[in-house]
Amino acid sequence: MTDNSLEARVAAVERALTDGDTAVDLSDPAERQRHLDALADDLDTLTERVDALEATVQSLHGYVGEIEHVNDRVERRADAARAAVERLDDEARAHAPEPDRSSPERAPSTGDETAVPDSAARLADSDEKPASLLDRLRSSL
């Protein structure tokens, strides 16, 4: 056995044991080409992964943009609905008869001190209707 073949075998054993973690001997053209091919394959693989990640990020940007657009539309609709409810509330208050303030209203003399005057009951009823409209609007959104 010659010294060259023994050195080649020892180098092969060392490469097998170290799993390619040692420095590559670039003096051999075939070894250099194999190393460059491996690097080119790794680069191609990484390029494909980066392209896939960029496509995913673009997709997420589009999804978030669509959500923001939908949120803006919902907000505009909610603002319009709220304005309509407030307008109806203002109209209802404008058409409601005002209580006669010239003569004070008295509670019925049933002996119940917690009785509510008729005008206060009407005011309470009128307050409930817009509130219930507003509550229904909120629950629908």
Q: Write down the pLDDT at residue 86.
A: 92
pLDDT the model gives residue 118: 53
Q: In b/e form, how buried is each residue of 56-90, taking b as 16+ CB within 10 angstroms?
A: eeeeeeeeeeeeeeeeeeeeeeeeebeeebeeebe
Query: Which residues are within 8 A (CB) of 96 and not within 5 positions of it... i.e. 6 or more apart?
Result: 122, 126
Within 10 A of 16 (CB to CB), how many other CB atoms are there? 9
Residue 45: the pLDDT is: 95
Please give the pLDDT value at position 55: 95
Phi-psi sector, 52: left (phi>0), alpha (psi -120 to 50), beta: alpha
pLDDT at 47: 95
The DSSP 8-state label assigned to residue 1 in this structure reads: -
Domain spans in the chain, listed from the N-terminal domain onward: 14-95+119-140
pLDDT of 128 reads 47
3-state secondary structure 19-36: CCCCCCCCCCHHHHHHHH
Give the SS3 label for residue 82. helix
Q: For residue 25, which of 15, 13, 40, 10 has the smallest C-alpha distance? A: 15
**Sequential pLDDT tens for the chain (141 residues):** 677 777 887 777 777 666 655 565 667 888 888 889 999 999 999 999 999 999 999 999 998 888 888 888 899 999 999 999 999 988 888 887 766 666 555 555 555 555 445 544 554 454 444 456 666 666 666
Q: Which residues contact 137 (CB under 8 A, 6 or more apart)?
A: 81, 82, 85
> What is the predicted pLDDT for the residue at 57?
94
Whole-prediction pTM: 0.37
